[in-house]
Each structure stands twice: as structure tokens, then as C-alpha cells.
């Protein structure tokens, strides 16, 4: 486990001193995507918020390489880790370019003035997420899919080594889901960006993830590659579904394909 770029060791997360998840020990390498799956209320968002220090951890440790996150200042953490959570961003007549540029604030002085180099990074981040044509548009007047890409561009402006996303495809139609996740996968590989996110769409999680963490009602249940995690009987149990009800569904097909791939590779 110590070989992972990002790792949690016996990490516990919860609210007001009451743990929701305990003893989480997982890791992810540079350029890999770790996806959290499980039923609503199991603790996926709580875990992400605790990693990001939006909630105080209740135990254990988190490391980036061999440096413990608890030892980083807020500015140092923002320079290494970015978050794109489901909380709505409220702006008043704010162009998308300014929303993206706000990701540079961990690097600016006390007055928040951006240098020419900062603006170059803003431009590159917008190009990488295909939002350059939105630069002058009011953020409040673009589609949900466009907003998600703008927020991803803002996160990239921080030049992070790791990015956390909580249900980034919520409220998006299938086209925008696929576009967003394809962009995220490309950035992970090309920029060696480590990604930790939660997803409800199991078929998409299977396609995009290098590793998957399954969180059930009783806590962490499985951690491994999609091939190791996605088994027919297990997924039904994780979500409390009668296996017979999976017949002729997309989830059934997803699991069937994985099992066929296992057989072919045996």
C-alpha cells in the first residue's frame, strides 16, 4: 500500500465525532482513476469531504507520496489537490473565464492579481476542457454540462496532482456524461492526474476506472480493479437488489461482459 502515490491508512470519516466509515485503507497511483460506488447514504460523499479536509477526519492518515495531508497548510493543499463537488456555485454576472481564473488564487498574492503566466494557465485549462468558446458567457446562463466542464477547468487551474469529484455526472444527459468522463480520462493519462470520484452509473464506472472502492451499508466491502469487483451476485447484494431483477438490464449486461472478459483472459 505504501507504493501508491495517494493512500489512506485506517482512515475514518463521519460527522460530529460519529463515524460513518472506519478503517479505510486504499490507494491510487498517478494517472489512475479510483471510483467510489455504493448505495446512497453509505458514506461516499463523507469520505471525499474528509479527504479534502472539509470535514475533520476521525482517525487514520492520508498521504500524497510520503507527505501526510494533515501537515499541509490550506494553500499548500490547494496547490496539490482540487475538488469538484456537487455544491452549486452561485455567481452574479460572472463570465466563465473569471470562474476558471479563480482556480489560480492559491498561487496569487494577498490582492489576488493574476500574472501573465497565470492567464496562460487559465487559457490552457479552458482548452483542455473545451470551454474556450464560453469565456465571455455568463456562468449562470450556460447548460449544466457546460458548467461541469468550466468547474473542471477551474480545478485544473490549480495545477493539482489529484482531483476529487463527487457525482460529477449528476443532472447531465448521456451525451454530457460521456463527454465529461472522456475528458477526465484523457486528463488522467496525459497529465498524470490522479482522480478520486463517486459515481452512480455503474456501467460508466466500469469503463473509466482503474480501481473501484465499494462502500456498503456496513462500510468498505471491496477494493480492486473493475474485473475483481464487478461480479453478478456481489453487486446485487451491495445495492440490496434481488439478482433476478437484474436480468435484461444494463447492469446485468455490464457484469456479463466483465465475466466474459475474465473467461477470455484466463
212 or 179, higher pLDDT: 212
Nearest Cα neighbor of 129 from 86, 198, 191 is 191
| pLDDT exceeds 90 at position 88 | no
As a whole number, mean pLDDT of residues 13-35 equals: 93
Mean pLDDT, the chain, whole residue set = 87
As a whole number, mean pLDDT of residues 200-205 equals: 87
Yes or no: say if 58 and 19 are a contact pair by the CB < 8 Å rule: yes
> How many residues are there in the chain?
266
Q: What is the DSSP letter of 13?
A: E
- Cell reading at 230: 464487478
- Confidence (pLDDT) at 255: 54
| pLDDT exceeds 80 at position 259 | no
As a whole number, mean pLDDT of residues 200-219 equals: 90
Going by C-beta distance under 8 Å and a sequence separation of 6 or more, which residues neighbour residue 198? Answer: 35, 36, 37, 44, 45, 48, 165, 166, 167
As a whole number, mean pLDDT of residues 225-253 equals: 71
As a whole number, mean pLDDT of residues 69-91 equals: 87
Yes or no: say if 238 and 250 are a contact pair by the CB < 8 Å rule: no
Minimum mean pLDDT range among 90-94, 134-138, 180-184: 90-94
- Confidence (pLDDT) at 133: 96
* Distance in Å from the first CA to the final CA of the chain: 26
**Dihedrals φ, ψ of 243, to 5°?**
-50, -35
As a whole number, mean pLDDT of residues 132-154 equals: 92
Yes or no: say if 61 and 38 are a contact pair by the CB < 8 Å rule: no
Share of the chain above pLDDT 70, in %: 87
How far is the CA of 232 from the CAs of 42, 202, 246, 253, in angstroms?
A: 20, 12, 9, 10
- Confidence (pLDDT) at 266: 47
Confidence band for 202, pLDDT divided at 50, 70 and 90: confident
| pLDDT exceeds 50 at position 26 | yes
For residue 204, the tally of other CB atoms under 10 A from its CB is 18
Going by C-beta distance under 8 Å and a sequence separation of 6 or more, which residues neighbour residue 244? Answer: none
As a whole number, mean pLDDT of residues 14-37 equals: 93
Amino acid at each position: 500500500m505504501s507504493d501508491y502515490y495517494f493512500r489512506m491508512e485506517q482512515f475514518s470519516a463521519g460527522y460530529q465525532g460519529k463515524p460513518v466509515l472506519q478503517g479505510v485503507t486504499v490507494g491510487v497511483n498517478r494517472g489512475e482513476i479510483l471510483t467510489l460506488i455504493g448505495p446512497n447514504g453509505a458514506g461516499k460523499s463523507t469520505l471525499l469531504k474528509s479527504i479534502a479536509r472539509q470535514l475533520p477526519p476521525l482517525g487514520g492518515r492520508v498521504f500524497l507520496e510520503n507527505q501526510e495531508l494533515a501537515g499541509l497548510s490550506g494553500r499548500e493543499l490547494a496547490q496539490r489537490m482540487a475538488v469538484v463537488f456537487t455544491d452549486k456555485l452561485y455567481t452574479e454576472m460572472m463570465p466563465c473565464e473569471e470562474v476558471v481564473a479563480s482556480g489560480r488564487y492559491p498561487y496569487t498574492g494577498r490582492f489576488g492579481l493574476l500574472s501573465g503566466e497565470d492567464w496562460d494557465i487559465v487559457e490552457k485549462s479552458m482548452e483542455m476542457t473545451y470551454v474556450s468558446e464560453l469565456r465571455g458567457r455568463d456562468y449562470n446562463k450556460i447548460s449544466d454540462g457546460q458548467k461541469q466542464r468550466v468547474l473542471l477547468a477551474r480545478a485544473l487551474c490549480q495545477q493539482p496532482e489529484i482531483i476529487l469529484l463527487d457525482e460529477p455526472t449528476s443532472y447531465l444527459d448521456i451525451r454530457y456524461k460521456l463527454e465529461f468522463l472522456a475528458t477526465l480520462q484523457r486528463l488522467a493519462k496525459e497529465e498524470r492526474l490522479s482522480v478520486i470520484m463517486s459515481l452512480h452509473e455503474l456501467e460508466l464506472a466500469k469503463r473509466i476506472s482503474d480501481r473501484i472502492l465499494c462502500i456498503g451499508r456496513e462500510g468498505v466491502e471491496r477494493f480492486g480493479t473493475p474485473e475483481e469487483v464487478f461480479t453478478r451476485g456481489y453487486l446485487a447484494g451491495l445495492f440490496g437488489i434481488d439478482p433476478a431483477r437484474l436480468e435484461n438490464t444494463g447492469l446485468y449486461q455490464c457484469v456479463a461482459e466483465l465475466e466474459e472478459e475474465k473467461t477470455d483472459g484466463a
